[in-house]
Amino acid sequence: MNSTKTATLSLWVTLTCLVGFGMFVMKNQVQNLESQLAGINRNIQDDIKTIHILKAEWSHLNTPSRLRSLAMKHISLNPVKAEQIINYSALPFEYESGESGRRLLAQKNISNQAERNKRLKRLVKAQR
Amino acid sequence: MLGKYFSGERKKNFYLPGEEIKIDKSFSFNNYTCEKDPLATCKSRVAFASLMFMLVYVVICGRLFSVCISTDTSSAKTYDETDHLRAYAANPIKRADIVDRNGTIVATSLPTVNLYANPKKILNAKKAAAELSRILPDIRYEDILDKLQRRRSSFVYIKRNLSPSQQYQINYLGIPGLEFENGEKRIYPHKNLFAHVLGNTNIDNIGISGIEKQLNERLTQSDIPLTLTIDAGVQDTIREQLAAAVRQFKAEGAAAILMDVRNSEIIAMISLPDYDPNLNNYKTERAQFNFATKGVYEPGSVLKIFNAALGLESGKVKVTDSFDATKPLKLKYNTIKDYRGENRWLTVPEILIYSSNIGSAQIALKVGRQEQQNFLEKLGFFAPVQSIEVAEKGHPLVPRRWGEETIATVGYGYGISVTPLHLVTAFSAIVNGGVYHAPTLVKDHPGEDTHRVVSFNTSKEIRKLLRGVVVEGSGKRANVPGYEVAGKTGTANKLVNGKYVDKKVMTSFLATFPASAPQYALFLMMDEPKATKETWGFVTSGWNTVPTAGKIISAIAPQLNIKANYDIDELRRNRIIEASY
């Protein structure tokens, strides 16, 4: 056997071995990654399940009938009546056009009202 | 040298160890003379043998390659989960949630675990049954033993939907042949509230009623939540008020539908009595019956709305026309009377306000059979409402012969039986400007059936007439200030064994608000309400469904964000402002 033939053969053998080894290492890594992926997917699915259960519980705790009974127990509020909602224009205050003027007037009116209420309270006290 | 071994023991010559072997061409086995060179034979045999060995190695290499490197599909499929190598995690919950229009979950599936046994693998059935009945106290020992001793079958459910602690305990027993299976259980967090809208699923998670049945495919094919047009808050408010009314008037049942008149989306739909779909027992037949979509009944006077609309639309009747209601109307086989008649000539608004049967019959007779039938068909009264997404659909009962009597009786609401859903859909069409929309329970539903039933002007006239009924007629108790309620009451005697019974009535109320620009239509129905002290012994609609409707409207209108329109006087307004300080 001459030297060139030997060299070619050994080169091929080495290459085959290298490729085979490389393949093996890569395959091994892929397998590891795949098992990692499967694990992560399993965790995500568990999380989805947990979130799902928590959402169902949230919905259960937020049922209107439960909220109503809690509100009746803990807050002294009643359902809003139609009469309680009024337009700004329906207020018995002086009306002035322009945003700032309107706000100033409203403030003035409110303070006037508050003063009047105070006076009324004082009067009631005096009567007692 | 190999030649010696290949030629075997048949060789005659004997060689001493180390002796040179001479091969001559005349070499022979048993008088057989070999023509060829014996060395060549040996060479070919060696080549053959080494080829065989190489083949074995090639096969081994190939197998090694296939095991290590290539992941062909046949080996991947042996995994019990086919989605083992997915790049994303699949949703483990298979049946989609149902949410209301605000995203509140009204039906969902929870992951559970089912326990099943393979009786062929069970070694000691008695011991296993004893242990299982200890952990699962709700199943009898005998039942479990019976299941575990079915030697012929290899799969038998022991219990579905185990609790996590039960699963742990059974796993801890370590009995071979007991296995777990992932399952789902449908849960309705709002219990009774949506019983009839949503329906129910069976133990295998297949819809058996309501939306669950009708949209079973949609719910199983996609895991995107299904959005309904229902509003859970409004639904609860109405149910609460309706249940209170049922208790107060000791009614057999009741139904309510709230519909958006602009597109016929159903905001709330209730049928009482109802049941808790989370429980599998305690369901009476009546509780399972969805009256709102399946209950056909003679609606009585509420049909006068459609009769008046028909009269105005046909052009044969004008609002100012008056009809003779001084005496009962005599027909061939029948005499039409009024309930507490006015005994005078009545205009069209008065016919509605005093709910005159005589007047309505006269309007119907004036318009005629053909037009009446066409009109009712356009309103959808002759066929089940196909567009509704619940499985329970009521078939209207339409008279086969349509003579003069029928024209007259249909005019004031007898002789034809329809469901509450038919009524409220047709009513929405009449008041919303005259366009019929097919009713729906699902948001973003594809292609809807719309057609005009009456002109815009007729719709406006009818709204005015109905506002009159609430302001000065039988609907007074539903006149919620600020919301301009307009509507019509109806009290129909129940048909028992083919005879109308006086004491047993079905009372209905159809209302819309606000009348100037209608947004919602409310339908209320009560089955056999009883007279109480507060109603002065009356059982007509004006005394039970109307006040209930008033309460409901005043409670839901702020929830629905309807701007109140006031005509309250100065003094009262001041008082309110004083009170708010």
Confidence (pLDDT) at B405: 81
Which contiguous run of DSSP H or E holds residue B294?
helix B291-294
Q: Given the cut 0.95, state whether the ipTM is greater than it.
A: no
Which chain A residues are closer than 8 Å to B109 by Cβ? Answer: 52
DSSP one-letter string for A53-86? HHHHHHHHHT-HHHHHHHHHHH----PPPGGG--
Lowest mean pLDDT segment, chosen from B62-76, B144-158, B179-193: B62-76
Burial bucket for residue B508 (CB in 10 Å: 0-12, 13-18, 19+)? buried
**CB–CB contact A45 B89 (8 Å):** yes
Low-confidence ranges of chain A (pLDDT < 50): none
Model confidence over B393-412: pLDDT tens digits?
888 888 888 888 888 888 88
Which chain A residues are closer than 8 Å to B64 by Cβ? Answer: none
Helix axes B303-314, B369-378, angle to 10 degrees: 120
- Judge contact between B67 and A23, C-beta under 8 A: no
Confidence of residue B571 (pLDDT cuts 50, 70, 90): low
Query: For residue B227, what are the β-bridge partners?
Result: B99
Chain B residue whose CA is closest to A46: B92
Residue B102 backbone phi and psi in degrees, to 5: -100, 5
Helix axes B404-411, B357-367, angle to 10 degrees: 130
Model confidence over B482-494: pLDDT tens digits?
788 888 988 888 8
pLDDT above 60: residue B294 = yes
Lowest mean pLDDT segment, chosen from A83-87, B140-144, B161-165: A83-87
Residue range B98-227 in CATH 3.90.1310.10:
yes
Rounded to an integer, what distance in angstroms lies between the CA atom of residue B429 and that of residue B423?
A: 10
**CB–CB contact A86 B92 (8 Å):** no
Confidence (pLDDT) at B80: 45
Q: Where are the beta strands (DSSP E) in B241-340?
A: 253-260, 265-272, 322-324, 329-330, 335-336
**CB–CB contact A49 B568 (8 Å):** no
Residue A90 near chain B (CB below 8 Å): yes
Which chain B residues are closer than 8 Å to A40 by Cβ? Answer: 89
Which chain A residues are closer than 8 Å to B482 by Cβ? Answer: 82-83
**CB–CB contact A52 B232 (8 Å):** no
What type of residue sits at position B424?
A: V
pLDDT above 60: residue B243 = yes
Which chain B residues are closer than 8 Å to A24 by Cβ? Answer: 68-69
pLDDT above 50: residue B76 = no
How far away is chain A from the Cα of B228, in angstroms, using its nearest Cα?
Answer: 16
**CB–CB contact A63 B85 (8 Å):** no
Nearest to B486 by CA among B470, B505, B498, B497: B470
**CB–CB contact B191 A63 (8 Å):** yes
Confidence of residue B32 (pLDDT cuts 50, 70, 90): low
Residue to test with chain B: of A53, A59, A69, A80, most B Cβ within 10 A = A59
Rounded to an integer, what distance in angstroms lies between the CA atom of residue B199 and that of residue B228?
A: 14
Rounded to an integer, what distance in angstroms lies between the CA atom of residue B465 and that of residue B339?
A: 20
Confidence (pLDDT) at B351: 85
Confidence of residue B221 (pLDDT cuts 50, 70, 90): confident
Chain B residue whose CA is closest to A53: B110
* CA B401 to centroid of chain Cα atoms: 36
Confidence (pLDDT) at B67: 78
What type of residue sits at position B154?
A: S
Confidence (pLDDT) at A68: 87
What is the mean pLDDT of the segment spanning B458-486?
Answer: 84
Task: Give the residue, B31 or B448, on which the prediction is more confident.
Answer: B448
Residue A56 near chain B (CB below 8 Å): yes
pLDDT above 90: residue B54 = yes
How far away is chain B from the Cα of A69, in angstroms, using its nearest Cα?
Answer: 12
Rounded to an integer, what distance in angstroms lies between the CA atom of residue B354 and that of residue A61?
A: 48
pLDDT above 50: residue B579 = yes
Residue to test with chain A: of B86, B108, B574, most A Cβ within 10 A = B108
Model confidence over B297-345: pLDDT tens digits?
888 888 888 988 988 888 888 888 888 777 777 777 777 777 776 778 8
**CB–CB contact A82 B240 (8 Å):** no
Confidence (pLDDT) at B520: 93
Rounded to an integer, what distance in angstroms lies between the CA atom of residue B117 and that of residue B552?
A: 54
**Chain pair A-B, CB pairs under 8 angstroms:** 106
Tally of helices (H runs) and strands (E runs) in chain B = 21, 18
Chain-wide mean pLDDT for chain B?
A: 82
Encoding tokens for residue B157?
A: 């459910």
Lowest mean pLDDT segment, chosen from A5-9, B23-27, B560-564: B23-27
How far away is chain B from the Cα of A36, in angstroms, using its nearest Cα?
Answer: 10
Helix axes B38-68, A3-61, angle to 10 degrees: 30
- Judge contact between B109 and B187, C-beta under 8 A: yes
**CB–CB contact A59 B189 (8 Å):** yes
Does the pTM exceed 0.90? no
Residue to test with chain B: of A42, A49, A52, A53, most B Cβ within 10 A = A52
What is the mean pLDDT of the segment spanning B506-510?
Answer: 90
Would you tell me how many other CB atoms lie within 10 Å of the CB of residue A49? Answer: 16
Q: Which residues of B are catalytic?
A: 301
Confidence of residue B282 (pLDDT cuts 50, 70, 90): low
Residue A50 near chain B (CB below 8 Å): no
Confidence (pLDDT) at B574: 56
Rounded to an integer, what distance in angstroms lies between the CA atom of residue B168 and that of residue B259?
A: 49
Query: For residue B523, what are the β-bridge partners?
Result: B257, B510
Which chain A residues are closer than 8 Å to B87 by Cβ? Answer: 37
How far away is chain A from the Cα of B471, in angstroms, using its nearest Cα?
Answer: 17
Query: For residue B520, what are the β-bridge partners?
Result: B260, B513
Which chain A residues are closer than 8 Å to B89 by Cβ? Answer: 40-42, 44-45, 48
Rounded to an integer, what distance in angstroms lies between the CA atom of residue B9 and that of residue B166?
A: 76
Which of A40, A56, A114 is the closest to B105 by Cβ?
A56
* 3 state SS of B114: strand
Residue range B238-559 in CATH 1.20.810.10:
no
DSSP one-letter string for B22-72? ---TT-EETTEEP-S-HHHHHHHHHHHHHHHHHHHHHHHHHHHHHHHT---
Which chain A residues are closer than 8 Å to B569 by Cβ? Answer: none
Rounded to an integer, what distance in angstroms lies between the CA atom of residue A35 and that of residue B84?
A: 9
Residue A83 near chain B (CB below 8 Å): yes
Model confidence over B369-401: pLDDT tens digits?
888 889 888 888 888 888 888 888 888 888 888
CA separation, residue B57 to residues B50, B64, B260 (Å): 11, 10, 79
**CB–CB contact B69 A27 (8 Å):** yes
Task: Give the residue, B82 or A3, on which the prediction is more confident.
Answer: A3
Confidence (pLDDT) at B425: 92
Q: Where are the domains of chain B?
A: 1-78, 98-227, 238-559
Residue to test with chain B: of A83, A109, A112, most B Cβ within 10 A = A83
**CB–CB contact A59 B111 (8 Å):** no
Which of B68, B577, B580 is the closest to A92 by Cβ?
B577
